[in-house]
Amino acid sequence: MPESANRARSLRAPPQTRLKLSHLRLIAALDETGLVSGAAQALNMSQPAASRMIGEMEALLETPLCERLARGVRLTPLGQSLARRARSVLLQLSEAEREFAELRAGRRGSVAFGAVSAPAFDLAAPALTEIREMAPQIEIEVAIESSITLARDLIAARHDFIIARVPDDLEARLFETLTIGLERASLIVRRDHPLLARAPLSVQALSEYPWVTQPRGTPLRRTIDNLFLAANVTPPERYLNTTSLTLSMMLVARSDAIAAISVEAARFACEGVAPGALTLLPTTFPIVVQPYSLITMRNRPLSPAAQMVYEIIRDHALRRARP
């Protein structure tokens, strides 16, 4: 063969690159059934069309791929090799299609959201159980912080959405909000606290003891301060401010301090985390904090995964709100 012809042939694309997915499906079906008719039926095509496609593959690859027998066909060694490769390619393609569908449906990906303590215990925790059952491939990051910290992290795109309140010092038009719940708080003390013998207690009886509460300016702290002001009682002189629920429980368990935390967190602390060490302090008055909302950034669409998590938490909240 002339050198120019050899060079031209070597520059041609490898024959494999001209195979179609339909070719790969057919060779894999031939290997499974051993029949042209069976392979054609599996691919929902006529037997003559399947025979023509076999001829196309053999012409492209310039080699026989199967031997015609009295009953059916048998793949040649090269045909078997191609069938193995075809199954591998088709499997990877199927996995890619499934992964794409899961991503589009929100069943894969990563989601970061934050919550203040009440909805973190009351909504996020049960919703996460449902999310894990529906979409175990989603990677979820949850932060429990004050509303101001969460809102600033939302603006900085560190969260997809938050369950909190829009802080007074931020422009409300930046956010889309959906009010989903009202936070109520309880007081917790150590199991043998002196005040328990006098319960239920009025506001007047609480100012003599140290308090563990959230920092000044947070909704819960404002609520506590307003309780004392409304009762014409001098507020406590000793406050330890922290947003950490764990630290709050530790300080209360080791001192005469009183902590104000969400009702859900208080029940969890007294019944689950530290049974026997902490208890609820009954009062004659309710502690009602501001409502909280599902908050997203205006004009910033959620990813499919984040949208799915958002909707599950929203639906949990709406079911709880029904009588």
> What is the distance of C-alpha 25 from the center of its chain?
36
pLDDT tens per residue across span 76-113: 999 999 999 888 888 888 777 766 766 666 667 788 99
For residues 25, 26, 28 and 29, what is the CA-based torsion angle, rounded to 10 degrees?
Answer: 110
In the structure encoding, which two tokens stand for residue 91, read together?
């499997």
Identify the structural domains of the chain with CATH numbers, from first to last. 3-103 (1.10.10.10), 108-321 (3.40.190.290)
In the structure encoding, which two tokens stand for residue 149, read together?
């910290």
Amino acid code (one letter) for 216: R
Helix (H) or strand (E) segment spanning residue 176: strand 175-190
What pLDDT was estimated at residue 10?
47
Percent of the chain scoring above 70 in pLDDT: 89
Beta bridge partners of 179: 293
157: left (phi over 0), alpha (psi -120 to 50) or beta: left
What pLDDT was estimated at residue 270?
87
pLDDT tens per residue across span 13-31: 454 458 888 999 999 989 8
For residue 303, the 8-state DSSP code is P
Label the pairing between strands 258-262 and 161-164: unpaired
What pLDDT was estimated at residue 13?
47
H helices of the chain, in order, are 3-11, 21-33, 36-42, 47-61, 77-105, 117-119, 125-134, 147-155, 219-230, 245-253, 263-268, 304-321
- Mean pLDDT across the stretch 303-319? 88
| Alpha carbon separation from 29 to 48, 76, 241 (Å, rounded) | 15, 15, 70
What pLDDT was estimated at residue 244?
85
With bands split at pLDDT 50, 70 and 90, how would you rate the model's confidence at 252? very high
With bands split at pLDDT 50, 70 and 90, how would you rate the model's confidence at 133? confident
- Mean pLDDT across the stretch 138-147? 88
| 160 has a pLDDT exceeding 80 | yes
Average pLDDT value over all residues in the chain: 85
- Mean pLDDT across the stretch 200-214? 90
Q: Are 30 and 75 in contact (CB under 8 A)?
A: yes
Q: How many CA atoms lie within 13 A of 24 on its CB side?
A: 16
72: left (phi over 0), alpha (psi -120 to 50) or beta: left
With bands split at pLDDT 50, 70 and 90, how would you rate the model's confidence at 318? confident
For residue 259, the 8-state DSSP code is E
| 124 has a pLDDT exceeding 80 | yes
